[in-house]
Chains A and B, each alone.
Chain A
Amino acid sequence: MDQTFLGGVFSETLEGGRAGADVELLPAGIGARTPDGETFVIPYRDCQVEMGGYNGRMVFCRNADRSLTIFCDAPKFPKALSLAAAGTLDDQLAIGHKKRRGESRRAFLFGTICLTAILLFIVAGYFGIRFGARSAVLALPVSIDAQIGDAAMESMDLGGPKVRDDVVVGAMQSIVDRIAPAAAVEGIDFRVHVVESAQINAFALPGGNMVVYTGLIQNASSPEQIAGVLSHEMAHATLRHGIQRIGQSLGIWAGISLLVGDVSGLTGAAVDLMQVASVNSYSRTHENEADAEGVRMLHAAEIDPSAMADFFEHLEEEEGDVPGIFAWISTHPDHASRIASVRAQLAGLPPVQYRPIDIDWGEVRKRIDKNIDTSIDNSDVPEKN
């Protein structure tokens, strides 16, 4: 029964109070021999057994006045000790085992509770941000939209020089002015900027700044088609989609910062996000909402909304020839289903006598095609009107 295990000993007689030791189960008791050759023995009858250590499996054998402790964490040690002591230490070993099991159960429970709490926090945070951001943002006054939109407009690269031709800009402004009274939100001042670029694109920033690219005007066959795209973009502004996106993105940042415990980076992140989020594509839900709201506004303004669907179809046909410049389409995916849902909405509208848009369409097209080079202005300062 003279097995040797790797262990150690605590004793005041040792230098530093401790040493590693070979632990032996001798007939007289538990023995320990240090590398320096010092030996210690605790008789089995005086031995007090406890369990603990870094893994909870370490057996501590202490003498009566606790001045000497021999310890060992070899997996076979408890059983060998029980046999060597002829069962006299079994009760203490059993208590140690029971205590360890209880502790590991408690640790498991604690870990599970912590994990569940963290998961719940993440899930709740996600939904809180998704739905909380919308209502929180919609509770803000509309003037905030204008402040953010103006700031973004000033710092943004529009992708081309601004067109200053009064006929062209005036025509676009008059389309927007005709739709504007039908807007669901009051207090948005829609201002149109025309930018010379082959992109077939238009967008609205929060607060009413709108940008129309000359490529869009060149590709439209009637002012009603332009009105279709513009009403969609105006709907993004009136439904405050841009600002909702900023709110969501910031909400996620705020959530992360809360978890990480540092909110100082929030300001920097907000500035970056504002520019990206205000221009980048909107979510599918937002697109569908903007389509429906655009059609509603056109109808209320007595402009034929079917032109919107016509223009989508026209773009879909042409897209195959020249991809890349169809930016408006590329940020607005899945147009087949959009055309279908716009048509379905049209069918359900009450009949109204549509009035044509009162602009000189021929002159606008002519000026865009021919005189564009002489009428542009390279100034980057946004015009206020």
Chain B
Amino acid sequence: MTDESLTCPDVLEKIPLYVGDDLEDLDRADVGLHLSDCASCRRELEEARKARAAFVGHLDRSLEGPSSPSLWPAVRQGLLEEGLLSEPRSVRPSPGPRRLLPLAAAAVLLVALGGVWDWPWQAEDQPGIVDSSALPAVTVAEDLGPVRDPFRASPLLRESSGLRRVGWSDTRLLDAAPGASSEWRLVPEAEVRPALQVNQLAGYR
């Protein structure tokens, strides 16, 4: 014992924290002072350092290699299995023009087909003037241009596109706001006529 404030048992008790630099500043200074003059305690410190080095050296600090799979797919699968996520993604990014291109292309194709064949339901199902106030409002996000009612032309498209029909008219296919279904907008007669003219140009009768 060389320091008046600390005895050897005091220092030995503090060595496990001293060795990892986990003592408060004042304690650390006192222990350091004692160690500078006490060979027995220094030997104990050396043993503590060796043991700590063995522990620290054993720790696996490696990161996973670049080829190792992320945890995410397994986490997502676990969440799906517990019903905490739904398939597909619970929140979809807002549909941009590129995402809607296939749908627009299908719609254009249907317009073209409409010009080649007369659909049997055209005559009796031609739109009248619909009271749009009685139907749900549609939040318009994007105008895809003039098309015919794809629901009539292709039940398959109706199933696969997820579109929801709230009425019908020869008008413009409108993509609703993100998160909502796309819908047909019902328009007054004045607006239908220009649309019909467009469709006639595409071969619609």
Say if A and B assemble together: no
A residues sitting closer than 8 Å to B (CB atoms) are none
Interface set of B (CB-CB < 8 Å, partner A): none
